Amino acid sequence: MAKLINRDTSGVYIIAATPFTDAGEVDHDSIRSMVDFYIGHGVTGLTILGMMGEANKLTPEERHAVIDTVLDQAGDLPVVVGVSDAGLRNLADLGRYAMDKGAAGLMVAPNAGPAREDRIEGYFHAVCSALGADVPVVFQDFPLATGLPVSAGLIRRLSTDLPQIVMLKHEDWPGLTKITALRRMEDAPGTPRLSILTGNGGLYLPQELQRGADGAMTGFAYPEALVQTVALHRAGRVDDAEDLFDRYIPILRHEQQPGFGLGVRKYVMMRRGAIASAATRAPGPNLSAVDMAEVDRLMDRLATRLA
Amino acid sequence: MAKLINRDTSGVYIIAATPFTDAGEVDHDSIRSMVDFYIGHGVTGLTILGMMGEANKLTPEERHAVIDTVLDQAGDLPVVVGVSDAGLRNLADLGRYAMDKGAAGLMVAPNAGPAREDRIEGYFHAVCSALGADVPVVFQDFPLATGLPVSAGLIRRLSTDLPQIVMLKHEDWPGLTKITALRRMEDAPGTPRLSILTGNGGLYLPQELQRGADGAMTGFAYPEALVQTVALHRAGRVDDAEDLFDRYIPILRHEQQPGFGLGVRKYVMMRRGAIASAATRAPGPNLSAVDMAEVDRLMDRLATRLA
Amino acid sequence: MAKLINRDTSGVYIIAATPFTDAGEVDHDSIRSMVDFYIGHGVTGLTILGMMGEANKLTPEERHAVIDTVLDQAGDLPVVVGVSDAGLRNLADLGRYAMDKGAAGLMVAPNAGPAREDRIEGYFHAVCSALGADVPVVFQDFPLATGLPVSAGLIRRLSTDLPQIVMLKHEDWPGLTKITALRRMEDAPGTPRLSILTGNGGLYLPQELQRGADGAMTGFAYPEALVQTVALHRAGRVDDAEDLFDRYIPILRHEQQPGFGLGVRKYVMMRRGAIASAATRAPGPNLSAVDMAEVDRLMDRLATRLA
Amino acid sequence: MAKLINRDTSGVYIIAATPFTDAGEVDHDSIRSMVDFYIGHGVTGLTILGMMGEANKLTPEERHAVIDTVLDQAGDLPVVVGVSDAGLRNLADLGRYAMDKGAAGLMVAPNAGPAREDRIEGYFHAVCSALGADVPVVFQDFPLATGLPVSAGLIRRLSTDLPQIVMLKHEDWPGLTKITALRRMEDAPGTPRLSILTGNGGLYLPQELQRGADGAMTGFAYPEALVQTVALHRAGRVDDAEDLFDRYIPILRHEQQPGFGLGVRKYVMMRRGAIASAATRAPGPNLSAVDMAEVDRLMDRLATRLA
C-alpha cells in the first residue's frame, strides 16, 4: 500500500463527520457525497471516526460500515482511522480491520486511566505492540478533551522509541510553543522528524504553519480554507496564506466551540450540500432555531466577504 | 416479572466483576462460578456491566453474552444491568436487550458532555424516554469517576419527575450528608421515597445505613461482609453490624483504591475460588508480584482476625 | 455613590491588567498610564484584580495599593473590584476596603470546594451575607478556569433570591445558548433583569450582543474594538458592529489563549504605550522571542487592515 | 540550625491544623495547646500551613503569627512550613520568613498553571532558585487536590537535579506502587535516596512503610496511632505495627474524607482537649449535629476497642 502516512506527510487531512439520517441511522449516501465534497475541495486525506465523527456512539458494525464506505468512495485518497477505545482489544481489532481494508494509518488518543505521563507512555507502548510495528500511528494530543496533558518531551520520546508513531495530531491549547519545542528537538543529530498536523478546528493554522507544522488535521465545514491556506504557505506565500485564512476566522471560531461546534459544522455542511441532514446522534448537540439563524448569518457574512 | 427493583428495594446488590481468561476472553465458566459464589454468600441481587465490570472494554456481543450467562445462572435473583454509553441509541439497545432477557432494572450514570446540572437533568429525561417508562432505572452518582457532580436536589427532582428512577446508587465522596439530605426531603408530603444503595466499595457502609441507606450496591471480594452488615443493621443490631464490618475494613480499604482496586478484587476472588483468573483486560490494571504479596498478607491477616 | 453597577449596567468594563516593573514590583506609574489608556479608548468602566489581573500573586497590601491608585486615576469612571478568595473573611475584608474607597461593585467567582450546584448556591448566600446587602455583586461564571459549572437556572435563582447579584460576567464556553436561556427566563412576570457582560476575551462579542448581552467585561489590548462594537450594536447598527469587530478577530483569538494570552496582552499593551513593561509575575507566562515576533506580525497585520 | 530535614528524615511529621476561635480569629492559645498535644503524643516534627491548615484562608500576617507561635512552642521539634502560593514571590517571601525563624524546611505543591510535567519541572526549578539552594524542600505530590499528576520519574529527576528537594510528601492515590518505583530507582549507582513521608490521612500507612516509606506526614486526630505504628515498624515489629494501626482505621477512614474530614479532625481534637473550638474558617467545612453524633460514636467505639 503506497499511501501509508509517514514522517513527511503534509497537507490537510480533514476530520470527517459521520452523517446520520434524521432518524439517526448512519447515512451512507451522505458519506459518499461528503467524501466527494472533501475531495472536491482538495483535501490531501481524510481522518474518520475521530471525536467529531461521533465514533463513540457507533456500534462496531457501524464503524466497519463507515470504514468500508469511506474507503470505497475515497479511492486513492489516504484515510486515517481513529481507533481510540477504552479497551485495547477493541482498539486493535478495529485497527486491524481498518488497515486490512486499506487505511493509511490509525489515530489513537491517550487513554490509560488517570492522567500521568508514565501511564501514557506505557499505554502507547502497549498500543503499538498490539497493532504491530508496521502500522503507522498518529498520536492525538488533545488534553481539553482527554484530560490527559502530555509534555513535548514525552511525544518526542515516544516517536523515537516507537518508530511507527510518525505523526502528531497537535491540539494542545495553548499549543503554539509546543510546535516550536518539538521542531527544536529535531535539531539534535539522529532525531527523526515527526509529521505535525494541527487540530483545534484550525483556529491558529497560519501561526502553526509558521512555527513548522506540516498542515492541518481538523474539521471545518469550509475545507477549502484549510487547503488553500496550507498550499499558499507551503508555496512560500506566507502573507497570502494568512490573508486568505483570516477571512474565514469569524465562522471558524464559531464552529470551533467544543461540543456545540459539531452541530454548527454539520449544519453548515448540510447547507452546503455535503450531507443530507445536520442530525447528530443523541445526546447531541442539537441546534435551536436561534442557533441556526446565527449560523446562517455567519455564512451569509462569509459569502459577502469572499465575493 | 416480579423481580423488578423498586423504591423499597434493599439489601446487597453486588457489583459483579467480568471474569476473563488469561488470554483475555470472557470466561463464561467463571461467570457461572462467580454468580454461585455471590449467591452462596447471600447477596440480594447482582449488578453487572458496571464500571468495575469493565463493560467499556467489551463488544456489544460480549455484553449480550455476559447478560445471558449471568441471568441464566442467577435464576430468580434480580440482576441490574449497567448500560451507560456515550450514545443514547446504544444505551437503549442494550437496555432493551437486558430487560427482554429478564433484568430487574438498568443502571445509568450521567453522560451528557461537560458537567452542568441542567445538562444532566435533560440527559436523564432523554434516557428515560428512550428506555420506556416501564423500565426501572438506577441513577449512578459517582462524580469521582464521571467528573459530573450532582446536587441532592437534582436527584430528588429527577426521581419525582421521572417515576421510573427508583433507586440511587450513591457514591459521591464525601457523601454521607447527601443521604441525610435526601431522606429529609422525603419528609415533605407526597414525596415518594427513593431506594438508596451505596457504593464506594462499601467503605462507609455502617455510617450510610445509620443515615438511612437501604443497603449496598458495590463490589467487594468478601460479599458476606456486606450481606451480614446490612442484615444485622436491618435487624436492629446496629453495633453488631458495625463490629462485624470493622473487621473487614483493612482489606476493604485496600480494595477500594480507584482503578488499582479492581486488580486487587479480582486477585482475591481468584484466590477464593470464585473465578479462574485474576486477569483484567488491557490496559489493566495489573498487579505485580509485590502487589500480590501485599494482598496475600491482608488476606491472611483477615483470616486470622475472623478466626 | 452614584456610580454603583446595577441591573441595567451596559457597555464595556475592561478587565485591567496589573502592570509590573521588570523587577516584579507593582508599577503604579503604569497603572495610571494604563487607566488613561483605557479611558482614552472609551471604556465604560474598569474591572480590576480579576484572574487576568494576577490578583492571586499580590499581597493584600499590594491589592489595596492597586485599588487606591486605580480609583484615584479613574475619577468618575466606575470600577469593579475582583475579590475572589479561598477564605470568606479575606474576601469580605478586601470587598469592604474596595467599597469604602469608592468601588462600583465587587466580582466574585464560585469557590466552595468541589463542584456542585448546591455548594455554589450556599456559597453565594454566605458571600452576600458577609459583604452586606448594599454591595452590588458580579457573579463570574468561568468554568474553564474555576472548574465549577453552573446552570442558567442557578444563576437566575441566585439573582432573584439575592437582589444584590445584579450582574453576570458571562464566560461559560460554549455559552451563547446560556445568554438566550437567561433572557427568556426574564420573560416570566416579576423577574428582575440581570445585567450580562461577556468575557472570554470577547471572542464571540457580536453574537453575544445579538443574543441580549449588555456589553463586555473582558480584557483585550485593543479596548477600542470592544467599545466601538458595543456602541454600534447598541445604536442599532448590528452589521457595522460585526464588521468592525471581525477585523480584530485574528489578534483577539491569539490573545484569548488561556494563560499564555496574558503574556500576549501585556506585550501588546506595552508596545501600544499603555504600560512600561510586559512583565508578569512568576511563574509567568513569559513570551519568548519567537512568541513576540509572532505578536508583532499580528499587530502589523491589524494595522494594515485598519489603515 | 541542626534540625533541618534531610534525605534520611523519618518518623511522623504531623500535619497541624490551624485552630480558630468560634469568632474566626486565629487562636494562639490553642496553637500552643495543640503543639503540646502533638508533642505529648510523640511526633517527630510538625508541618504547618498545609492544605489542612487552611493556609489559603489566612492573611500573610496571620501566617507569620502562626509560624511564630508554633516555632516558639515547638522548641527543638523540627517544623516544616507549607508555602505553596499562586505567586512565586509570595511563596519565597513566606519561605524566607519561616526559615529565618527556624523552620526545618519548606513544603511546596506543584502550581504552574495547567497540568503538564514539563511545566511542573520548570516550576520547581524556579521555586528552588527563588528559595536558595540551602533551603530543604518537601515536594508535595497530591494530585487529588492539585489536579496535577506527577510520574515517579519526574520526582526522581527533580530530586537528583535539585539537591535541596530532600523529601517527598507522598499522597498520590492509588500510590503504593509509586513508593516501590521510587525505591527501585535508588538502586542505580550514585542515586541519592529521598526521604518519603506519606500523606492521605495515613490510610495506607502500614503498606507504605512495608514498601519503603520512612514515616508519615499527615494529619490525624490520634497522632499516637501514627507514631506508634511507625515506631513499631521501624523496630522490626511489622505485624505489631499493623495490628495497632488497624484498630484506628474505622475512625481514620472517616477523618480521611476530602474536605469534610477537616471538620471531623478538628471536632475530635476539640473533644480530646487539644484545641478550644472545632471551628474552621468559612466557607467551611462545618459539621451538623448529625455529623457530630456520628463522630462521637466512632470515638466511643475506638475507646472501647483500645480498652
Q: Do D154 and A115 touch (CB under 8 A)?
A: no
Closest CA–CA distance from residue A246 to any residue of chain C (Å) = 7
Element housing B105 (H / E) = strand B105-108
Chain D residues within 8 Å of chain B (Cβ atoms): 173-174, 176-177, 180, 203-204, 207, 210-211, 242, 246, 249-250, 253-254, 257-261, 288, 290-291, 294, 301
Q: B205: which strand partners?
A: none
pLDDT value at residue C111 = 87
Residues 6+ apart with CB under 8 A from C306: C247
D54-105 confidence digits (pLDDT tens): 999 999 999 999 999 999 999 999 999 999 999 999 999 999 999 999 999 9
Task: Tell me what the pLDDT averaged over chain A comes to.
Answer: 97
Are the C-beta atoms of residues A11 and A45 closer than 8 Å to each other?
yes
Q: Which residue among A174, A253, A291 sits closest to C249, beta carbon to beta carbon?
A: A253
Check residue C2 and give its pLDDT.
47
Going B220 to B222 to B227 to B229, the CA torsion angle's sign is negative
Sign of torsion over alpha carbons B117, B123, B129, B134: negative
Q: Do D283 and C59 touch (CB under 8 A)?
A: no
Residue B178 phi, psi (nearest 5): -70, -40
DSSP B20: B
Q: Do C154 and B114 touch (CB under 8 A)?
A: no
Instruction: Check B87 against A113: CB less than 8 A apart.
Output: no
CA–CA dist D16, D49 (Å, integer): 7
- Phi first, then psi: give them for residue D173, nearest 5 degrees: -150, 120
Percent of chain D predicted with pLDDT > 90: 97
Task: Please tell me the distance in Å from D295's CA to the nearest CA on chain C.
Answer: 22
What pLDDT does residue C290 have?
A: 98
Please list, residue by residue across B266-296, b when 16 or more beta carbons sit within 10 angstroms of its beta carbon and e when fewer do.
bbbbbeeebbbbbbbbbbbbebeeebeebbe
The size of the C-D interface in CB pairs under 8 A is 70
pLDDT tens string C228-250: 999 999 999 999 999 999 999 99
Q: Which pLDDT belongs to residue B191?
A: 97
Q: Do B282 and A130 touch (CB under 8 A)?
A: yes
Q: Do A26 and A18 contact (CB within 8 A), yes or no? A: yes
Give Cα separations from B176 to B13, B14, B213, B237, B252 (angstroms).
Answer: 19, 20, 10, 20, 18
**Is a pLDDT exceeding 50 seen at residue A264?**
yes
Indicate yes or no: CB of B117 within 8 angstroms of CB of C151. Answer: yes
C121: closest chain B residue by CA: B151
Residues of C in contact with B143 (CB under 8 A): 114-116
Partner residue opposite C253 with nearest CB, options A180, A242, A253? A253
Contact partners for chain B, using 3 or more CB pairs closer than 8 A, are A, C, D
Burial label for A188, CB within 10 Å (0-12, 13-18, 19+), is exposed
Interface of C with B (CB under 8 A): 114-118, 143, 149-154
User: Cα distance from D97 to chain B (closest Cα, Å)?
Assistant: 36
**Local structure of residue D161 (DSSP, 8 states):** H
| Residue A156 confidence (pLDDT) above 60 | yes
Binary contact (B116, C153; C-beta < 8 A): no
- State the pLDDT at residue C113: 81
Other Cβ atoms less than 10 A from the Cβ of D301: the count is 17
How close D241 comes to chain C (CA, Å)? 35
What are the φ and ψ backbone dihedral angles of B8, each rounded to 5 degrees?
-110, 5
Per residue, what are the HEC states of chain C? CCCCCCCCCCEEEEECCCCECCCCCECHHHHHHHHHHHHHCCCCEEEECCHHHCHHHCCHHHHHHHHHHHHHHHCCCCEEEECCCCCHHHHHHHHHHHHHHCCCEEEECCCCCCCCHHHHHHHHHHHHHHHCCCCCEEEEECHHHHCCCCCHHHHHHHHHHCCCEEEEEECCCCCHHHHHHHHHHCCCCCCCCCEEEECHHHCCHHHHHHCCCCEEEECCCCHHHHHHHHHHHHCCCHHHHHHHHHCCHHHHHHHCCCCHHHHHHHHHHHHCCCCCCCCCCCCCCCCCHHHHHHHHHHHHHHHHHHC
Q: Name the residue among C208, C243, C245, C247 with its Cα closest to residue C227.
A: C245
Mean pLDDT of B69-87: 97
pLDDT at D116: 95
Q: B92 to chain A: nearest residue by CA?
A: A282
Pairs of residues, one from chain B and one from chain C, whose beta carbons lie less than 8 Å apart: 32
Record: contact D282-C88, CB cut-off 8 A? yes
Average pLDDT over chain C, rounded to whole?
97
Q: Are D211 and D180 in contact (CB under 8 A)?
A: yes
For cell 488613561, name the residue.
C36
pLDDT digits (tens, 9 = 90+) for A105-149: 999 999 878 899 999 999 999 999 999 999 999 999 999 999 999
User: Which one, of A275, A262, A277, A271, lies nearest residue A293 by Cα?
Assistant: A271
Cβ partners under 8 Å of residue D238, min gap 6: D206, D209, D210, D232
Tell me whether residue C100 is exposed, middle or buried, using C-beta atoms within 10 angstroms of its C-beta: 0 to 12, 13 to 18, 19 or more. exposed
Chain C neighbours, 3+ Cβ pairs < 8 A: A, B, D
Give the per-residue pLDDT at C156: 98
Q: What is the pLDDT of residue A1?
A: 46
C-beta separation of B170 from B139 below 8 A: no
The three grid cell numbers given for residue C216, joined into one nine-digit string: 463586555
B125 touches B162 (CB < 8 A) = yes
**Distance from the Cα of residue C134 to its chain's centroid:** 21
Q: How far is B164 from chain C (nearest CA, A)?
A: 24
Q: Name every chain A residue with its beta carbon within 8 A of the beta carbon of B114.
A: 258-259
Cross-chain Cβ contact D89/C57 below 8 Å: yes
pLDDT > 70: what percent of chain C?
99
Task: Compare all CA atoms of chain D with the CA of C85 and give the residue at the minimum distance.
Answer: D57
Query: How high is the pLDDT of residue D117?
Result: 97
Q: Nearest by CB to A113, which of B85, B113, B259?
A: B259
Q: How far apart are CA B158 and CA B22, in angstroms?
A: 42
Q: Is the pLDDT of residue B86 over 60?
A: yes
pLDDT at B195 over 50: yes
Residue B2 has a pLDDT of 47
What is the pLDDT, as a whole number, of residue D1? Answer: 46
In tens, the pLDDT along A173-219 reads 999 999 999 999 999 999 999 999 999 999 999 999 999 999 999 99
AA letter at C255: E
Find chain B residues with C-beta within 8 A of C151's C-beta: 116-118
- The mean per-residue pLDDT over the stretch C46-56 comes to 96
Those residues of chain D whose CB sits closer than 8 Å to some CB in chain C are 24, 54, 56-60, 85-90, 111-114, 122-123, 126, 130, 147, 258-259, 281-285
Cα atoms found within 13 Å of the Cα of residue C81, Cβ hemisphere only = 28
Cross-chain Cβ contact C153/B115 below 8 Å: no
* Spatial separation of the C-alpha atoms in residues D16 and A152, rounded to whole Å: 39
- Provide the pLDDT confidence category of residue A13 given band limits of 50, 70 and 90: very high
Please give the average per-residue pLDDT across D143-164, as a whole number.
97
A112 contacts in chain B (CB < 8 Å): 283-284
B11-62 per-position pLDDT tens digit = 999 999 999 999 999 999 999 999 999 999 999 999 999 999 999 999 999 9
Cβ D59–C56 below 8 Å, yes or no?
no
Residue D161 one-letter amino acid: D
Residues of chain D contacting residue A118, judged by C-beta atoms under 8 Å apart: 151-153
What percent of chain B stands above pLDDT 70? 99
Residues of chain A neighbouring B122 (CB-CB closer than 8 A): 283
Phi, psi of B15 (to 5 degrees): -75, 115
B301: nearest CB among D180, D211, D242 = D242
Please write the tens of the pLDDT for every residue from B90-139.
Answer: 999 999 999 999 999 999 999 878 899 999 999 999 999 999 999 999 99
**Residue A126 CB contacts under 8 Å (≥ 6 apart), including other chains:** A88, B282, B283
CA D263 to chain centre: 17
Nearest one of C39, C54, C1 to C281, comparing CA atoms: C54
ipTM of model: 0.96
Compute the radius of gyration of chain C from its Cα atoms: 18
What's the distance, CA C114 to chain centroid?
A: 24
Residue C44 distance to chain D (closest CA, Å): 30
Q: Which of D54, D87, D126 comes nearest C57 by C-beta? A: D87
Say which of B174, B260, B301 has its CB closest to residue D174. Answer: B260
**Does residue D2 carry a pLDDT above 80?**
no
Contact C114 B143 (CB under 8 A): yes
Q: What is the DSSP letter of A66?
A: H
Which candidate from B115, B118, B153 shows the least CB-CB separation from C115?
Answer: B115
| Coil, strand or helix at D124 | helix
Give how far D281 is from chain C: nearest CA, Å.
7
Measured in angstroms, the CA of C291 and the nearest CA of chain A are apart by: 8
Tell which of D179, D297, D298, D300 to mutate to test the B interface (max B CBs under 10 Å): D297
pLDDT at B238 over 80: yes
Nearest to D177 among B258, B291, B301 (CB): B291
Q: How confident is the model at residue A159 (pLDDT cuts 50, 70, 90)?
A: very high
Model confidence band, residue D114 (pLDDT cutoffs 50, 70, 90): confident
Chain B residues in contact with C149 (beta carbon < 8 A): 114-117
Percent of chain B with pLDDT over 90: 97
Confidence of residue B1 (pLDDT cuts 50, 70, 90): very low
**How many degrees, rounded to 5, is the angle at CA C147 between CA C142 and CA C151?**
60
State whether A117 and D154 contact (CB < 8 Å).
yes
| Partner-chain contact B207 D260, CB within 8 Å | no
Contact present, D274 and D17 (Cβ < 8 Å): no
Residues of A in contact with D118 (CB under 8 A): 151-153
Residue with cell 462507609: B204
Which burial class, exposed, middle or buried, applies to A79 when counting CB atoms under 10 A from its CB (0-12, 13-18, 19+)?
Answer: buried
